[in-house]
Structure 1
Amino acid sequence: MHDTDHGLRHVEHVMGTVFSFDIRQQPTAAIRHALDEAVRGLHHVDEVFSTYRPDSVISRLGRGEFGLDACPAEVQDVLALCAEATRTSDGWFSTTPGGTLDPSGLVKGWAAEAASHVLYEAGARNTCVNAGGDLQLRGEASPGTPWRIGIAHPLRPRELAAVVTGHDLAVATSGTAERGAHILDPHTREPVRALASLTLTGPRLTMTDAYATAAFAMGAAAPAWLESLDGYEALAITPDGQEWHTPGFGRRRP
C-alpha cells in the first residue's frame, strides 16, 4: 500500500493472479482500513474457492465429501450466480467445463466486485479494482474525467485494440494471449479457438466476467446472444485479426 499524488494504490498477489487497487481520492483512515479488509477478503475467497487447493471447500464439494447444504453461504451464493449465468447463456457458461466442479469463470469477477463494494461502503467513491485485467470501476479517474481503459490487442504485442471510457463500469476480457487456449467448450470439453479475445463491458464485474467467458466459448454464436443482453457491449478479435463489435460498444481508437 502506498500513497500517490492521486490517492492510494496497492498490489496483491492472490488467486493465482495480480489484483491492483487504485483509489483516486484522499484516503481516510476508514478507506485504509477497508483496503486491508478487501485484501483479506480476497485471500479468504482463495482459501474457499481455489481448485488448486485440495482442502478448499470447492475442491471438497467437487469430490463429494459433503453436499451444498453443508457449505458456507458464500459458496451457495456463488453457485446460484453461476446457475443464473448458465441459464442466461443457454449452457455456454458452465461450472464443470472440464468435467469437475470449477466456478472460476465467475469467482474472480465476484471477488473483485465484492472488494470494490467494501471500498465504496467506506467512502471510496473513485476506485479501480483490477483483477488480472478484469476491472470494476467506480466514479471517475479525476474530477470531471472518466476512467480510460486500454484493451490490449491479442495479436499485436504492446498495441491497443480499443480504449473504453466510463464511470461506473465493469470490463472483462477472455482470450488466448496470456494463457493460450484455456477456455473449454462446455459441450465438447475441447479448447475454444474461434476467437483470439473478447472484451465485454457491463455494469458489474461478476456477471460481466461470467458472460465474457460464455461468449468466448460460443464463438460465432456470440454476437446475436450478446445483442440480446441489456447493458452489455462487446468487442471481439478473431485469430486472423478480423474483429466485430456490438452496435453499442463505445470505443475510441488510440
Structure 2
Amino acid sequence: MTTSDRFQSVTTSIAESAMTSHIAEPATAPLTPATAASFPGSSRTETFMGRPVTIEIRTPLPARELTPLMDDAFAWLRWAEDTFSPAKEDSQISRLNRGLTLKQIPELIEVLHRCDELSESTGGWFDARIKGVTDPSGYVKGWALERLSRALLQAGAGDHRITAGNDVRVRGSHAPGRRWRVPVRDPRTGKIRRTVLAHDLGIATSGGSRVLDPHTGEVRDTLGSVTVIGPDLGLADAYATAMYAMGPIQARRFANELAAKGCYETLIVLHDGQELTTPGFATYNDRRARLAG
C-alpha cells in the first residue's frame, strides 16, 4: 500500500467529494541545491478559506509518494471548504442557514456538536450561531488542519508543519533531534512575541481578524491578541477566539482555568503591549514569563 493509499484510507470518501472543487492547481515550492540536502520532503502552498496554507513535510519519502500525498492533503482542505464555508452558496453551512436539505455527512454532525460543546465550556463566549446565523469558521479552520495533520501522520509523513496564517500545527522533527521553531507573531504588527519550540503542538493566535461578541453580535476589540497552544489545533483556535471575545479580565481567568487542566497554555497581549502568560507556556519557550498578578 502506498503512502497515498494510506492517506486515502484515513479520509474515506473525502477525495471523491473534493474532485468537484475549482481551486487552482497546486504549485510545489522548488528546493534550491543549497537546501535540498538538508531538506528531505516537500513543501506546497494553496489557499484555504481565504488564506494561504503551507504544508511542509520533512519525512524523507520518495517523490512518487510525496506528490500524491500533497494532492490528497489539499483535496481534503478543498472538501472541508466546500462543505463548511459560509461564503460558498452551496456549502452545507449555507444550506443550513437557508433551511435547505443537508447531506448526511458525519463530519458536519461532528463539527456542529463540538461547537455546541465549546459554547457550553466557554460560557457562551465561543458560539457558532450568532443572531440566528451558523458559522463554525472559528473552529472548523483549526479542526480541518488538525484532521489533516493526523492523516499525514498515519500516512507515514510524521515530520511536518502546517501553517495557515496565525494557526500552525507541527509534528515530529524539523531535522533529526531538532524541535520545530514556530514564531508567534503579533497579528497586527507582525512583531515576534515568542518562539515556540515543539515536536507535537497546535498553536493558534486570535486578533488578526474580526471577532464578534456572541452575546451581542458586536465586534470586540478589547485585547491585542490571544495565543493558545495545546494538543488539538481546532480546540486551541476556538479557545483563542473565545478569550479574545471575553476581554482581559475574563480571558485571564479562563486561561488559568484551562491551564489548570494541564493541556492548553495561553499568551495574552494587552493593547498596551503587556504580555500575560500561563506558567506552562514557558515550557515551550526560551523566554520566561508568568501571568502577572
Provide the TM-score with structure 2 as the length reference.
0.79
**C-alpha distance after superposition, 1:115-173 (max 9, x if no partner):** 11221111011100112220111011111111111111345x35311111111100000
Could you tell me how far apart the structure 2 residues matched to 1:26 and 1:11 are? Answer: 19
Asked if structure 2 preserves the Cα contact closer than 8 Å seen for 1:19 and 1:130, the reply is: yes
The question of 1:142 aligning with 2:175 is answered yes
1:125 aligned to 158, 178, 197, which one?
A: 158
User: Quick check: 1:245 aligned with 2:280?
Assistant: no
Pair 1:226–1:135, CA change in 2 (3 A): same
Q: State the number of aligned residues.
A: 247
1:224 — aligned with what? 253
Match of 2:195 among 157, 163, 168: 163
CA deviation map 1:9-65 (0-9, x unaligned):
000112111110011121233343222111001111111111111211110111212
Q: Please state if 1:173 is matched with 2:205.
A: yes
Q: Measure how far apart 1:3 and its partner are.
A: 5.6
- Distance across 2 between alignment mates of 1:172 and 1:107: 13
CA shift in 2, pair 1:118/1:154, >3 Å: closer
| Higher RCO by CA contacts (8 Å cutoff, separation 6 or greater) | 1
Q: Does 1:191 align with 2:219?
A: yes
Residue of structure 1 in register with 2:42 after alignment = 8
Work out whether residues 31 and 119 of structure 1, in 8 Å CA contact, stay in contact via their aligned partners in 2: no
1:203 to 226, 231, 239: 231
Q: 1:44 & 1:99 partners in 2: Cα distance? A: 25
Which structure 2 residue ranges, 5 or more long, are not aligned? Answer: 1-27, 288-293
Map 1:28-177 to 2 at 5 A.
28=62, 29-66=64-101, 70-97=103-130, 99-154=132-187, 157-176=189-208
Once residues 137 and 111 of structure 2 are traced to their aligned partners in structure 1, the CA distance between those partners, rounded to angstroms, is: 10
Q: Is the 8 A contact 1:31 1:122 kept in 2?
A: no
Q: What is the CA RMSD across the aligned residues, in angstroms?
A: 1.8
The 8 Å contact of residues 166 and 187 in structure 2, kept in 1 or not, is answered as: no
**Alpha-carbon separation, structure 2, partners of 1:154 and 1:19:** 16
- Give, in angstroms, the shift of residue 192 of structure 1: 1.0
Give TM-score, length-normalised by structure 1. Answer: 0.91
Check conservation: 1:35, 1:119, Cα contact below 8 A.
no
Gaps of 5+ in 1: none
CA distance in 1, matches of 2:135, 2:115: 10
Separation of aligned partners in 2, 1:111 and 1:163: 24
> Percent identity of the aligned residues?
39
Distance 2:252 2:171 in 1: 27
Q: Distance in 2 between matches of 1:198 and 1:103?
A: 19
Partner of 1:18: 52
Structure with max Cα Rg: 2
Structure 1 position 195, deviation (Å): 0.5
What CA distance in whole angstroms lies between the structure 1 residues aligned with 2:268 and 2:113? Answer: 28
Aligned partners of 1:120, 1:35: CA distance in 2, in Å?
A: 13
Q: Distance in 2 between matches of 1:104 and 1:233?
A: 22
